[in-house]
Amino acid sequence: MESTRNEQQPLPTTVEADIEAPSYTVFTTRQKKWIVLIAASAGWFSTASSFIYFPAIPFLARDLGASVQEINLTVTSYLITSGIFPSIWGNFADHYGRRPVFIMSIGAYIAINIGLAVQRSFAALVTLRMLQSMAISATFSFAYGVLGDLTTPADRGGYVGLISILLNTPPSVAPLISGLLLIRWSWPAIFWFLAILSSTVFIAILLFLPETCRRIVGNGSVRAPAVNRALLSPLCPDDVQGGTHSLIRAGGGDLKRLTNPFTAFGLLKNYGTAVSVACFGVYYTIYSCLQASLSTVFVEIYGVSGLVAGLSYIPFGIACMLGSSLAGKLLDYDYARTAESLLLPVDRRKGDDLKAFPIEYARLRTCKYFIALCAPLIIGYGWALQSKVVSPKLRDEAKSPKLAISLLTSPSIWLCH
């Protein structure tokens, strides 16, 4: 009887334990890298549109019969617009997908650059620069949105380093390109260059960029609607199911809410987000002031050409790239150390539960050291400008305290990012 009773008892099973939750994404590592590269290439124009413009400011003032201060208003209007519209575009990207919004942004950007190349009035310049910012400024955030779709917090830092390197090449590359174009042609060539180069990225997006928005395709295993599908499939997951993601069935969202730029402020209700944004916001303001003034100061003090004004950004750009490459590794290191100190597991495959994880501490734990380094360097930079402590000879340019401070300050700012 005992043996019979034992035979009738169900055998212990581990089927439930063996059933694993779906992976965070079904995209392969190679696919993720290429997708991030395409997205970052689109985001490149968000930064490049500012840096490629700065060396041309004195020449725009001369040709349009405006003062440098008036042309600087186009920089201000560009930055104000870039602070408003990313939240609107970001809402649309979260609800309707990354791919359609990428296509609309880059398509509009191409047309606006053509308009900037042919216009010859200050009013048209201000208007079109605002439209240019409206079209392209959000691609920076789209690229990071794609990054969030494809990577878990534990391995995101490495990809952040990859994407930041590309997004931070404009500080050194774009002004140099601008200087060369100013020597050979004139400032309209800058906008023709942007229109042509962005057209190549537009084609790459049309052909290859798959939809990654988790609201639409989940972890990539759900077939996207026709408008969200790439024309070619080398970067699409091999195993895609039919049907529609459950979150789409709820509807596309309230249009009034989607177009409200203040919706994004709701994110600041989260303490960790508010602290991180405040920290980055202060230093991004400093960064914007540095980049906007550099070429104009060199032209006014040295009387240099557009090319030399562009070359003055090289130390700044190199420092940004070094800071970005270091930041990616540092983010992953800080995340792992924080998890280890709290005895929390790190799941790179499915992602971690951030509700129980102090993500703001992990992201900012070493930031205080770079803030301590950056603050006195910013003071030194201001003193160098006020005292005009620069060499009157171009051959001594590299010895300028201004350039040295720029080289030291930029990595600190971007490591705070």
SS (H, E, C) the chain: CHHHHHHHCCCCCCHHHHCCCCCCCCCCHHHHHHHHHHHHHHHHHHHHHHHCCHHHHHHHHHHHCCCHHHHHHHHHHHHHHHHHHHHHHHHHHHHHCHHHHHHHHHHHHHHHHHHHHHCCCHHHHHHHHHHHHHHHCCHHHHHHHHHHHHCCCCCHHHHHHHHHHHHCCHHHHHHHHHHHHHHHCCCHHHHHHHHHHHHHHHHHHHHHCCCCCHHHHCCCCECCCHHHCCCCCCCCCCCCECCCCCCHHHCCCCHHHHCCHHHHHHHHHCHHHHHHHHHHHHHHHHHHHHHHHHHHHHHHHHCCCHHHHHHCCHHHHHHHHHHHHHHHHHHHHHHHHHHHHCCCCCCCCCCCCHHHCCHHHHHHCCHHHHHHHHHHHHHHHHHHHHCCCCCCCHHHHHHCHHHHHHHHHHHHHHHHC
User: Is residue 77 situated within a structural domain?
Assistant: yes
Q: pLDDT value at position 14?
A: 40
User: What percent of the chain lies above the pLDDT cut of 70?
Assistant: 68
> Quick one: average pLDDT of 52-76?
87
Q: Sign of dihedral through CA atoms 273, 246, 253, 228?
A: positive
Q: pLDDT value at position 416?
A: 46
CA distances from 239 to 113, 220, 234, 416 (A): 40, 9, 13, 39
More confident: 92 or 388: 92
pTM above 0.75, yes or no: no
User: Is residue 171 situated within a structural domain?
Assistant: yes
User: Is residue 2 situated within a structural domain?
Assistant: no
More confident: 245 or 79: 79
Condensed to tens digits (0 to 9), the pLDDT of residues 25-40 reads 888 888 888 898 899 8
Structure tokens at 168: 């931070």
Q: pLDDT value at position 81?
A: 87
Q: pLDDT value at position 237?
A: 67
User: Is residue 19 situated within a structural domain?
Assistant: no
Report the distance separating Cα 253 and Cα 258, nearest Å: 7
Q: pLDDT value at position 151?
A: 82
Smallest CA-to-CA distance from 309 within 6, 59, 11 is with: 59
- Lowest mean per-residue pLDDT among 47-56, 270-279, 401-410: 401-410
User: Is residue 55 situated within a structural domain?
Assistant: yes
Structure tokens at 144: 């990071």
CATH number at residue 290: 1.20.1250.20
**Is a pLDDT exceeding 60 seen at residue 252?**
no
| pLDDT band, residue 390 (cuts 50/70/90) | low
User: Is residue 11 situated within a structural domain?
Assistant: no
**Is a pLDDT exceeding 90 seen at residue 280?**
no
Cβ-contact 405, 290 below 8 angstroms: no
| pLDDT band, residue 269 (cuts 50/70/90) | confident
Opening angle at CA 220, ends 218 and 224, nearest 5: 80
More confident: 277 or 77: 77
Q: How many domains does the chain have?
A: 1
Q: pLDDT value at position 306?
A: 60
Report the distance separating Cα 313 and Cα 265, nearest Å: 33
What is the extent of the structural domain holding 92?
A: 26-416
Q: Which of 210-224, 279-293, 350-364 has the highest mean pLDDT?
A: 210-224
**Is a pLDDT exceeding 80 seen at residue 173?**
yes
Q: pLDDT value at position 108?
A: 95
User: Is residue 5 situated within a structural domain?
Assistant: no
User: Is residue 237 situated within a structural domain?
Assistant: yes
